Amino acid sequence: MYLQQLVEIFYIGLITVYTIFIVSFIYITSRSRPEIKTDGGKKVHMGMERSEKIWLGVLFTVAVIGNIIFLSPLMPSMQYQVYLDEDPVKTVVITMENHTFILPENPIELPLGKPVEFKVYSNDLTYGFGVFRKDGTMVFQMQVVPGYENRIVWVFDEPGVYTIRSTEYSGPEHPYMVLYDVIVVGGE
């Protein structure tokens, strides 16, 4: 999954920067430093001071808490976006040709709340594949380019009937490229 790879790169980058930061902090504060005393005398200060130890603790805490909040699969939102990689429970293959949709079944029956995959092919022109709600609002759309496997995975979160429409202008017949109520998403 593309998003997952991006997040992994970001994550590794973040960990690297943070590790460099903490290691250099420990290195610098642990070296012995000359300390000028208020009475003018000098002594060599060894190791970390108490405030530096506290700051180090803050750095570690921020790293751990930040990790849990933003990237951990313990968070439902992150689990859904980044870690959940369920295989689609159904694949719908649709071919577009001569300004028509060739459907595998009519209606296309899909489950609610499960990932379903659409593979849409074009045998001639560049079309669009859009899925719309009853009120005309769009659920999703993608371009359908000839010679490619145009693929989208979707989780429907509302039961109901949906309309398929071409969303890419493809000539004078384009406005008629619509199939009303051909997708039925069942309740669970």
- Cβ neighbours of 144 (radius 10 Å): 25
Which one of the spans 53-61, 136-144, 152-160, 175-183 is the region binding Cu ion (CB under 5 A)?
Answer: 175-183
What gap in Å lies between CA 140 and CA 129, rounded to an integer? Answer: 8
Closest distance to Cu ion from the beta carbon of 63 (Å): 51
Q: With contact defined as beta carbons under 8 Å apart, do 90 and 116 qualify?
A: yes
* Closest by CA position to 185, among listed 106, 107, 109: 109
Q: Does 100 bind Cu ion (CB under 5 A)?
A: no
Q: How far, in Å, CA of 129 to CA of 131, rounded?
A: 7
Looking at the Cβ atoms of 13 and 171, the one nearer to Cu ion is 171
CA dist 58 and 18 (Å) reads 13
108 near Cu ion, rule: CB under 5 A: no
Which listed range, 17-25, 67-75, 101-109, 122-130, lies at the site for Cu ion (CB under 5 A)? 122-130
Of the two residues 122 and 166, which places its CB atom closer to Cu ion in the complex?
166
Question: Where does this chain touch Cu ion (CB under 5 A) — which range of 19-27, 114-122, 147-155, 170-178?
Answer: 170-178
User: What residue ranges bind Cu ion (CB under 5 A)?
Assistant: 127, 166, 170, 174, 177
